Amino acid sequence: MKKKKLTYMLAVTQDYVFAAGNIVLSLIKQRPEKDFDITIFYDSMLPCDKKIFTDTGICTLIEYKVPKEFEKKIRTNCPKFNDENFAKHFSFLKFAKFEIFSLLDKYENAVWLDADIAVQDDPYDIINYPPFAITEDRGWTVQNNFTAPIPGYDMDKSGVCSAVFLVTDKLPDYQKMKDWCYKKAEKLCPHFKNIDQGIFNILLQEFKIEYQLLPLDDYQCFTDRDEGSFAKIAHFGGKAKVWNNTEMISSFPEWYRMHLKWMKLGGSDFSHEEKFSVINVYKKLQDRNRKIKNLQDEVNNLKNTLKGILDIKKNEETEIGFKIKLLGISFLKKKVKKDVIRYYFLGFIPVLIIKTTKNN
């Protein structure tokens, strides 16, 4: 059977299905010919959401089933997977990312996309970076993904970020990589910090993969960078997401416009536990500039007022001199005339006279 060209892959919990919906609608908008597929792994999904994905004609939905023995070992060796306080980060659905290698049996190219992104332009040309392409993780090393050094690997090597990456069927031994990832995760789970990303960082070394670095500010640009507004893919990588922060959602209105479209189709909404609003960023900047201008005017007015209260100036009647006024009354006055310097209290009471001798 001839392989298809490309599938994008996502994996989402029920509370992030809306984010997957946003990505799907955005990909279709950017490439309406739909010459690609989208594979979505999930743990739970409402019927209304399933219907929207199915109706696109290009989405394949796969319920992710964690291998029982694997789950048991992970829960035993990494207690955070049993702690509700860490449920979002230490989620078993993170391991679904390993399934991307199995997609290469059907597709020439598979592209992983984290759910907390905005697709702002067509990322299709990512397939021009075979056999494995990923972005750098600026400022991070491989070690930053683990709580302890992993013997046999260069932990000081610059790290990569697995939020967006490409794998292709030109990758040697790709058939072995999924099972290797699961086995390595079992072994290293006591040292997890960034679960799947840590495994992918050492995968590159284990299989000696000659990978290409994707342009970070184009394919996985963090939203606090100037390039974020124009990147093909903007990544909401911090705690502030486009669905919980006023500044973020107002800076990326296209994401919100697509979310409204998702809602109109009958899709599930995101949680509104954190209050925020959508504002006009330009208007906010104009309001801020007006406040700054008003503040500057007040400062200038204050300066002018103080100048009348506390006035230091050159005495016009002498070659050198000054007056200090306090509340309009001369407080200290200095007069210099030839070789005599006189100081006056209240402008007329002499307090000091200094005679100077000039050298001929």
**Tokens linked to 271:** 């949680």
* CA distance linking residue 35 with residue 122, whole number of Å: 12
- Name residues whose C-beta falls within 8 Å of residue 255's C-beta, 6 or more positions apart in sequence: 22, 26, 118, 242, 249
Whether 351 contacts 343, CB under 8 Å: yes
- Domain limits, the chain: 4-279, 309-355
Q: What is the DSSP string of 247-262?
A: HHHHH-HHHHHHHHHH
* CA distance linking residue 146 with residue 199, whole number of Å: 9
pLDDT in 10s for each residue of the chain, 360 residues: 899 999 999 999 999 999 999 999 999 999 999 999 999 999 999 999 999 999 999 999 999 999 899 999 999 999 999 988 888 889 999 999 999 999 999 999 999 999 999 999 999 999 999 999 999 999 999 999 999 999 999 999 999 999 999 999 999 999 999 999 999 999 999 999 999 999 999 999 999 999 999 999 999 999 989 999 999 999 999 889 999 998 899 899 999 999 999 999 999 999 876 666 777 777 777 787 888 888 888 877 876 775 655 444 443 444 455 565 666 666 677 777 777 888 777 777 887 777 766 554
CB atoms within 10 A of CB 322: 15
- Name residues whose C-beta falls within 8 Å of residue 263's C-beta, 6 or more positions apart in sequence: 269
Distance of CA 139 to the CA centre of its chain: 14
Fold classification of 4-279 is Spore Coat Polysaccharide Biosynthesis Protein SpsA; Chain A (3.90.550)
Q: What was the pLDDT predicted at 360?
A: 43
**Tokens linked to 291:** 């406040």
- The region that residue 333 occupies, defined by phi over 0 for left and psi between -120 and 50 for alpha, beta otherwise, is beta
